[in-house]
Every structure is written in C-alpha cells, then in structure tokens.
Structure 1
Amino acid sequence: MTKSQETQYESSGAPIRISGISKTYKELTVLDSVDLDIRGGEFLTLLGASGSGKSTLLNILAGFVKPSGGTIEVDGVDVSRLPPHKRGLGMVFQHYALFPHMSVAENVAYPLKRLGVPKAEIIRRVGEALDMVDLGRMANRKPTEISGGQQQRVALARAIVFRPRVLLMDEPLGALDKMLREQLQLEIRKLHKDIGITFVFVTHDQDEALTMSDRIALLKDGQIVQLGTPEELYNAPSCRYAAEFVGVSNIFQGSIKNSAFIDGQHAREFKLPLGHAKEGTGLMIRPEHMRVSPAGQITNTIHDQIGATVEDCIYLGSSRTVQARTDAGALLIARTEVPRSPDGIHAGAQIQMHWEAADARVLA
C-alpha cells in the first residue's frame, strides 16, 4: 500500500450494535433475539452450519432482509429502516456479481459512477483499489478473461472503492478450490489490516474462521452460542456443540462427582483440570493433546488413560492421525508429530491413549 492509500484509510471502521434482531417466516424462527456488538475496525466472522441464521443476519445488516424485530446501529446511527444503498456498507457476494460486458476497471468504477463521482476522481480511486488487490495490470480485461481468484479480487476492489467503513462478505470464497481459497484467506486478512475498516464475514468453514478472524460468533438455531477469539473458541468451547463444530474433539460423556469426572460410557474416573467448571456433562481432549503408546507401556501416574484398538493410522506428512476404538465402542482420535510417533502403531494394534488433566476441558 502506498503512503497516500494509508492516509485515505487511516480512520478505523464503524462499530455495529445488533440489538434483539429476530426473523421469522410463518412459524419458522430463523433468528431468535440476537444481540451482538461488533467493534470498529475488527474482523468478525459469523460461523455456523447451514440453517444456523448467519447469512440471514448478514443480509439483515446489509438491508436486503427486513427483520421481524430488533434494531441495527452503525456508528451510533439506527439504520434499521434504511434501504441498502443508504447504509454506506460494502458487500461482497459468493458469486461476485460482476458485469461480464464491462472491463475489470469498469466493474470497479460502477458504484462511483452511480454516486456521481467526477471522472478524474473515479480513475484515480479505481487505480488505487485495483493496486490494493494486485490487479492494476488487468484493468482492461473482461471478467471472463481472468481466473476465479482474480474475479474475487475485483469484487473486493469494487466493494472498497467507495471507502465504506464496514465491509460485509457472504461466503465469498465458497466457489474456489482449496489452495486458492487458503491463499485468498491470507490476502483478505492482510487487506483488512491495511485499510482498517470493519469486516463482517460469513462462513461455514471453521478453518477459514480460525485463520482470518479477530473474533468469531458461532450460531446455532438462530442464536449465538459462543462469541470469542479463535483461541477461546478452540481451547475453551462453551458447550458440546462448540467443541464439535470448531475443530476435532474427543468427548467423554458423564458428570462431575467428588472432584473427578465420571465417564458413563466406560465407567471410568478421570482427573479434572484446575479451575474447571463446577458442573459439566462432557470432558473434551483435542487430538493434539491425546497421546498414544503400545498397550502396557504407560507408567506415568499424572496421565489419564484408556485402552483402545487402532482402526486406522493416517500419514499427513508432518503429522500422523491415529483413529482407535475403545471396548465400549467410542472412537478416539490422536494427532502426533511424525518424528515422535511411537513404533508398533498400526491397524489392529492394542494401544493406550492417554492425556494430562491440564489439557482436558469440561463442557458445561
């Protein structure tokens, strides 16, 4: 980014307050009185499965869907009843919505022409926006003459060219292949840091949310079940749904009794981590904290352990994933670094899976 671009985008994005937003279609409740404060300049992701309400919430924020109740404030101004074009928000859709008969530069210039910006100013700002997404050299090409990833960059340039203080993105990377998707995740994250405006991003991809976000709002059945940083959602999920949706988890079901966790399926007693919740119905151990040893080799008394039979051992380059099943039928997963993987771990092998109490989490 040039010095002039830094000056233009040095102000932070607008804060957003979502208060009591509900949406019902006949008897179906899509959003159930959602409250959410989005900080000015942050990258917030709305994460959830299909039907969780995340895209509906984004479209209500954009003004494309009318809420059944509640209000939305952008920078302290109630925009709940304003049409989309008067809210001053940028929007990037999943399918880009580029005009095929226009050049890249003409597509980016379109919102400025609608606003009546002088021609010389349009040329300057389009050039700056295309440079920010590294497409200045392709200004005269048509959308059909560039790749899918480049088309997505054009859509981003068009969304920021009129300098909104909020940018909304509805699964914009969903149509791209894995490698290109991962590349653009990092580019969008960098763009956010460069221009400093508020980003609200919708995805069902947990890895995408963890990679890009300052905070994540996890939705289920029209409600936010957890709001926090990527580290908070991954390391301290608030409930079983959060533990299973964000990352892979080994979860024992049971209850807390006498300062221990009683696993109902295996009739075993496991140690609890310090500062654990007073009540809980699940004990979670992430695969990277689950260790594996051949049966009979564990003597470390600080580890909890359980016997299992290896069903599969998957080589992933730098790591190896071990899937094993206990006698009670529970499938457990461990992920180990390849140089540290013990010998004798193969399909059919009898093993001990073990972990430290400090690495476990009680699910309230």
Structure 2
Amino acid sequence: MSISTPTAPRATTVTGAPITVTGISKTYGATTVLDNLDLEIRGGEFLTLLGASGSGKSTLLGIISGFIKPTAGTVEVAGRTLNRVPPHKRGFGVVFQNYSLFPHMSIADNVAFPLARHGWPKSEIGRSVAEALDLVQLGHLAARMPSELSGGQQQRVALARAIVFRPPVLLMDEPLGALDKLLREQLQLEIRRLHQELGITFVFVTHDQDEALAMSDRIALLRGGSIVQVGTPEELYERPNCRYAAEFVGASNIFRGTIDTAGFTEDGTAHRFRVPESPEIAARTGGAHSVMLRPERIGVVGAGEHVPGGRDGLDGVVEDTVYFGTNRQVQVRTPDGRLVLARTPVPHTADGVVPGAAVRMHWGVEDVVVLGS
C-alpha cells in the first residue's frame, strides 16, 4: 500500500494501513516522555490513545505523524519503516484541536488545498471535495467562509480536508477538546460514522474516558510514557488489569486486602465477600490484592428490606445522593468508616435511600473484579 504523497484517487477503495510501533522512546534531556513503547494498530481499526496530561499520548501521535523524531525505536506503516520519511510524504490525514483553516479561503477551497498542492486534476478535485463535504454533511455550505461557520462546523471542515484524499491513516489530536459537551457528543458519533464508512485506520488522542469508550474499537491507556493496558472499551471498563486502569476508566470502588479460599477480606475492616472462581484467581490465594466494584453494579435498599438471594453486601448510612438524570449516585458510609459509591437507575432507587438512612448495599459475586496489582 502506498503511503507517499497523495495521488489522484483510484477506482478501488483505499483500506486502512496497519501501524507497528516498536521500542519507541522519547527523551528531552533527563526527562523521559516515552519509554520503550510497543504498540500494534490494526489496519482499519479505530484506536484511541487515552491518558492524563503528560502521559505521552500526544508525543506518540506526533512520532507516528512524523512531526516528532523519536530518540529510539521505529514506526512502520503497511510494512514500511517511516523514521526517515518527513510528515508531508507520509500521506496521512491529520486533525488537530485548532482547526487551522485558511480564513481567506472558502470552505470548498480549504478542503481542496491538499489536493491542489499535490497537482490533482481540477475535475478530480471538484468531485473529491464534494464527496468529502457530503460525508461531513456540509456540502450545502461549500461557498461560505470559515468565519461564517460555528466551531463544530469548522471542525467538520478540518475533518473533510483530512480525509479528502482517502489517506490510509487519519491521526487526530484532541480534535473535540474546544467544543461544548453537547456538540462534542454529536461529533463523536459523526467521527465514528466516518470511520465505519471509510474503513481507514483512525488513531485518536484524548484524555476524556467517556469519549474513548464511545468511539473506539480499542483503547491504549498510557501512564508516564508506558502503556498500561490495551483492549476494547468493554475490556478496559469491565476487566481493568490494574488499579490505575480501574480508577482512570470509569468510577470505581477499590478495596485492598487479601484473598483466601473463602473469599476476600479488606485490610483494616470487617468487610468480607466472595470473589469469582477461576484458576487465575485461585493462584493468587494468600496474597495481597485489590478488588473493584463498579458503582452501577451495587444495589441499595433500606435496612431490613428484601435483598435478592445469593448476593453479598455491606451495611451503612447514606451520606449524600446526587441526581444525574438517568441514575442517582448514592454515597454510603460503612461502620468501619469506608465510603462506598453506588449508582442506581432513577426509577428503581428505593424511596428510603435518603441522607441519614440506614441501608444495605448488595452485589453479585460476578460483579467483583480482582485486579492484577
């Protein structure tokens, strides 16, 4: 697959290129930003680089795009090593947080710019620009200037410009960060739809866990220049491999203690409950571990009310409740002083679950996740 400077489109559809990152490190003096990082990105998938500020996600994207030179390691796309290939010859689409539109050009001319720059025939340019603008649902605004568009519309123009030549890879660095919540959520769906229609490889950078969960085929979670976990959104949320992943992706209740043949006992409290049965968990018997309970897996009923059979639980007193529309967060303090968060669907929250009320929290053994560390 060619990944050189874009050429005129062919009759066949361009598919996404696989990306292999091997042993990538990046240092600035004594500061290590990326530390011997390996990552396989499948051709045509939507992979999100997720992490807090300073985790190295944007640096990794910059190295893939060619705008940042790695201290060590290689980047291969479709089997071709790109370390010595400059950004403009990699043939990638790139979208940044700032839209970088030319204010003196119409929307159509902005989208046409990369094609005109590389000498595409005018007939091909007009057709490709119209197709790209239709994909982002802005064909009717082709004659307008950037200043006449909203922020969300300008971001769509930036997307159209990045995909107009059907690149094998589209790189996006926090492209929705400057938008308000509602518009950001709308564009998340639009970008996801574009990926499904185009079939090219998307690599997306964000610090927003909800954004990553909503859009990605897989997520690579970074921390301190290293990859913590790579998996589908469901894998990262339901089966985080360590405490950091459990706490970064979604709300969680983390208990630290020991596992024995009878179950789990939290350090410093009388809390004891079962853990799922598996050879992997059985092998950890006798050791100190962390276990996780997601708040939405915890039911809450008034003290003395019926709890479904076969469920474990803890007693406590409600400290506060927070209304989130579809669910209500309940903060419960146990007699040992432990604060536990539960989230219950609003129509199913018990009437007696109010601040100051004694309650019983309950969950199934399958809801307990034993973390790797």
Q: Which TM-score applies when normalising by structure 1?
A: 0.95
| Residue 201 to residue 299, structure 1, CA distance change in 2 (3 Å) | closer
How far does residue 63 in structure 1 lie from its aligned partner after superposition?
0.5
Matches within 5 A, 1:222-241: 222-241=225-244
CA distance in 1, matches of 2:62, 2:356: 51
Partner amino acid, structure 1, of 2:201 = T
Relative distance call for 1:117 and 1:149 in structure 2 (3 A) is same
Map of 1:336 onto structure 2: 344
Q: Tell me the matched-pair count.
A: 359
**Matched residue SS, 2:361:** strand
Deviation at 1:287, TM superposition (A): 1.1
Distance 1:14 1:299, change over 3 A: closer
Deviates more, 1:110-119 or 1:17-26: 110-119
- Matches of 1:291 and 1:120, distance apart in 2: 62
**Pair 1:87 & 2:90 matched:** yes
Deviation at 1:259, TM superposition (A): 4.2
Give, as a single letter, the amino acid of the residue that structure 1 aligns with 2:369. Answer: R
Q: 1:348 aligns with which of 356, 359, 362?
A: 356
Selected match of 1:26 from 3, 23, 29 = 29
Residue among 82, 99, 108 paired with 1:96: 99
Equivalent residue, structure 2, for 1:313: 321
For residue 19 of structure 2, what is the amino acid of its counterpart?
A: I
- Tell me which residue corresponds to 2:6: none
- The answer for the alignment partner of 2:187 in structure 1 is 184
> What is the DSSP-based 3-state SS (H/G/I as helix, E as strand, rest coil) of the residue aligned with 1:281?
strand
Aligned to 1:159, the other structure's residue is in SS state helix
Alignment correspondent of 2:259: 256
Q: Is 1:173–2:176 an aligned residue pair? A: yes
Matches within 5 A, 1:152-231: 152-231=155-234
Once residues 205 and 337 of structure 2 are traced to their aligned partners in structure 1, the CA distance between those partners, rounded to angstroms, is 36
Deviation readout 1:56-78 (Å, 9 max, x if unpaired): 00000000111010000000000
TM-score by length of 2: 0.93
Question: Among 34, 44, 53, which residue is 1:50 paired with?
Answer: 53
Is 2:355 the partner of 1:327?
Answer: no
Q: Which runs of 4+ in 1 moved over 4 A?
A: 6-9, 298-301
**Contact 2:14–2:167 (Cα < 8 Å) also in 1:** no
Q: Deviations over 1:280-318 (max 9, x none)?
A: 611111111111111233565622211222121122333
Between the aligned partners of 1:230 and 1:314, the Cα distance in structure 2 is: 26
2:3 corresponds to: none
Match of residue 108 from structure 1: 111
Shift of 1:118: 1.8
Could you tell me whether the CA contact under 8 Å between 2:49 and 2:220 is conserved in 1? yes
Q: 2:135 aligns with which of 132, 136, 141?
A: 132
Q: Deviations over 1:101-137 (max 9, x none)?
A: 1111111111111111122221111111111111111
Q: Contact 1:253–1:265 at 8 Å: present in 2 too?
A: no
Give the partner amino acid of 1:191.
L
Aligned AA (1:265): G
For structure 2, the 5+ residue unaligned runs are 1-8
Whether the aligned pair in 1 keeps the contact of 2:23 and 2:37 (CA below 8 Å) is yes
**For 2:366, what is the secondary structure of its paired residue?**
helix
**CA distance in structure 2 between the partners assigned to 1:346 and 1:328 by the alignment:** 20
Higher mean C-alpha displacement, 178-187 vs 114-123: 114-123
Distance 2:73 2:336 in 1: 48
Q: Counterparts of 1:9 and 1:153 in 2: how far apart (Å)?
A: 25
Question: Which amino acid is the alignment partner of residue 99 of structure 2?
Answer: Y
- Whether the 8 Å CA contact 2:307–2:362 is kept in 1: the answer is no
Cα distance, 1:11 vs structure 2: 3.5
Aligned match for 1:76, one of 73, 76, 79: 79
Q: CA–CA distance in 1 between the matches of 2:56 and 2:262?
A: 38
Residue 135 and residue 323 in structure 1: after superposition, are their counterparts in 2 closer, same or farther (change >3 A)? same
SS in 2 for 1:224: strand
**For 2:112 and 2:14, how far apart are their aligned partners in 1?**
23
Structure 1 residues 301, 10: closer, same or farther in 2, change over 3 A?
Answer: same
Task: Specify the code of the residue in structure 2 equivalent to 1:162.
Answer: F
C-alpha RMSD of the superposition: 1.6
Aligned equivalent of 1:303, options 280, 305, 311? 311
Most deviating of 273-282 and 12-21: 273-282
Q: Distance in 2 between matches of 1:198 and 1:242?
A: 25
On the 8 A contact 2:96/2:173 being kept in 1, the answer is yes
SS of equivalent to 2:172 = strand
Query: In 1, distance between residues paired with 2:12 and 2:269?
Result: 58
Q: Which amino acid in the other structure matches residue 35 of structure 2?
A: D
Whether 2:122 is the aligned partner of 1:119: answer yes
Gaps (5+ residues) in structure 1? 1-5
Map of 1:3 onto structure 2: none
Whether the 8 Å contact between 2:103 and 2:146 is mirrored in structure 1 is yes
Q: CA deviation at 1:9?
A: 6.8
Structure 1 142/309 Cα, relative in aligned 2: closer, same or farther at 3 Å? same
